[in-house]
Structure 1
Amino acid sequence: MRLLLMSDTHLPKRAKALPEELLEQVPRADVVVHAGDWVDTATLDLLESRARRLIGVYGNNDGPDLRARLPEVAYAELAGLRFGVVHETGAAQGREARCARRFPDLDVLVFGHSHIPWDTAAPGGLRLLNPGSPTDRRRQPHCTYMTAELAAGRLTGVTLHRLPPRR
């Protein structure tokens, strides 16, 4: 099973559209995950129309229209792994232990908010993934997204993809 992970698209405030490279990945993924801060419903509509399966949550910049359609936290079992998706996890300091306490029944937690790519594991094994942002790099060198593979109850091939600068 192939996953496509993104967050913090902030359209149309940070960019006019999702990068073409990212859009090309949508139909190749079995599951597309968006960890919040969509900002516009058009992006949700677009991903819903193109993805085989979409798992998304709202973020702190998402208004009432998105909050009416998306949960604050989403849960799914994918290929034998228990996934959670949330926008905010708090400060980087102590994140692993804090998330392990908050989500004791998960194997993988996908989050956003910081625009900073993150791939760590908490004591006890909870894997924490933040794909960064494909449209707003903030202080990062690149805009980013992630892909991953799931097979036989294992998460493998987690890859951070760097997008070329926008023209």
Structure 2
Amino acid sequence: MRLLLMTDTHLPKRAKELPEPLLAELPRADVVFHAGDWVDEATLDLLESRSRRLVAVYGNNDGPPLRARLPETAYADLDGLRFAVIHETGPAQGRETRCAARFPDTDVLVFGHSHIPWDTTAPTGLRLLNPGSPTDRRRQPHCTYMTATVTDGRLRDVTLHPLPPR
């Protein structure tokens, strides 16, 4: 099962549209994750129409229309692997311990907010993934997104994809 992970798209404020390499991944993904800060409903509509399955939440920059359509926290069980998605996890320091306590029955937590790619594992085994932002790199060298696979109930092939400059 192929996964596509993104967050913090901030359209149309940070870019006019999603980058083409990211859009090209949509038909290959069995599940698309978006960890919030869409800003516009058009991006949600686009991902809903092009994704086989979308697991998504709202972020702090998402207004009432998006909050009416999306939860604050989303969950998905993929081949026995338990995923949770949330936008904000708080400061980087102590993140693994804090998130492991908050999501004790979760194997993988997808999050956003910082625009900083993150891939760590808590002492409990919880894997924390932030795919960065495909449209607003902030202080990072590139805009980014992630792909991964789930095979036999295990997360594999987690890859951070840098995007070319716009």
- Shorter-chain TM-score range: over 0.9
5 Å matches for 1:59-98? 59-98=59-98
5 Å matches for 1:16-165? 16-165=16-165
Determine the C-alpha separation between the residues in 1 that align with 2:117 and 2:56.
Answer: 18
Deviation per CA, 1:102-141: give whole Å up to 9, x if none: 0000000000000000000001100000000000000000
Q: Give the deviation of 1:89 after TM superposition.
A: 0.1
Q: Give the deviation of 1:14 after TM superposition.
A: 0.3
Using structure 1 for the length normalisation, give the TM-score.
0.99
Q: Give the deviation of 1:84 after TM superposition.
A: 0.1
The CA RMSD measured in Å over matched residues stands at 0.3
Determine the C-alpha separation between the residues in 2 that align with 1:77 and 1:148.
Answer: 15
Structure 1 counterpart SS, 2:5? strand
Number of residues paired by the alignment?
166
Q: Give the deviation of 1:163 after TM superposition.
A: 0.1
Q: Give the deviation of 1:13 after TM superposition.
A: 0.2
Structure 2 counterpart SS, 1:52? coil
Q: Give the deviation of 1:86 after TM superposition.
A: 0.1
Dislocated runs of 4+, deviation >2 Å: none
Using structure 2 for the length normalisation, give the TM-score.
1.00
Q: Give the deviation of 1:79 after TM superposition.
A: 1.4
- State the identity %: 82
**What residue ranges of structure 2 are gaps of 5+ in the alignment?**
none
Structure 1 counterpart SS, 2:36? coil
**What residue ranges of structure 1 are gaps of 5+ in the alignment?**
none
Structure 2 counterpart SS, 1:60? coil
